[in-house]
Copies of this chain bind each other. A is one copy, B any other.
Amino acid sequence: MPDDSLLHFEDMPPGTTFPLGPKHVTADEIIAFAMEYDAQPMHLDAEAGRQSILGGLAASGWHSCAMMMRMMTDSYLLRTAAEGAPGVDYVKWKKPVLAGDVLSGETRVLDSRVSQSRPGIGIVSLRHELRNQKGDTVLESENPVMIRLRDPGSTNA
């Protein structure tokens, strides 16, 4: 039986939007992520960041993606009957994410369809955008996510 407390495929038609953030990005977490996964100087050291084309202590692009994922889980994914994602269509790191930035934005459902290969699963195409406190878009991405159908019989018909 579907869990009525969860969002299912039928609850996310195209045009549905979910807010992301706000998320305050600290120097400590930029450096912690970089030490584990991306120890390039501009992600570890403020002076090295200022001397780079990023202009300051800047989050690894993959850290920005991970922070976006956290905002997605906090906003909607943990209350969604989600079954993971096959990948990412693209990520654009449009501006540096710098220590002290406050990120917010939204996910919008662009498209949705029932899976032909996986019974009971629908696929929603999501577009994510994050902006900083100045209103500059820092990250854009699209990716498909698999969501269980509440009622596979009727939607498949």
- A interface list, Cβ under 8 A from B: 33, 36-40, 42, 52-54, 58, 60-63, 65-67, 69-70, 73, 77-78, 82-94, 118, 146
The answer on a CB contact under 8 Å between A85 and B69 is no
**A85 and B58 alpha carbons, distance in the complex (Å):** 12
The answer on a CB contact under 8 Å between A53 and B83 is yes
Contacts of A86 on B, CB cut-off 8 Å? 92-94
Q: Given contact pairs A37-B69, A40-B73, A53-B83, enumerate 18 new A-B contacts (beta carbons under 8 Å).
A: A33-B66, A36-B66, A37-B67, A37-B70, A37-B73, A39-B78, A40-B78, A40-B82, A52-B83, A52-B84, A53-B118, A60-B69, A61-B88, A85-B93, A86-B93, A87-B91, A89-B90, A90-B90
Q: Among A33, A36, A52, A89, which residue has the most Cβ atoms of chain B within 10 A? A: A36
Known A38-B70, A73-B38: A61·B90 in contact at CB below 8 Å: no
Contacts of A89 on B, CB cut-off 8 Å? 90
Contacts of A69 on B, CB cut-off 8 Å? 37-38, 60, 62
Number of copies: 2
Could you write out 21 A-B pairs with CB less than 8 Å apart? A33-B66, A36-B66, A36-B70, A37-B67, A37-B69, A38-B66, A38-B70, A38-B73, A39-B73, A39-B78, A40-B73, A40-B84, A58-B84, A60-B69, A62-B65, A63-B66, A84-B93, A86-B93, A87-B90, A88-B91, A90-B90
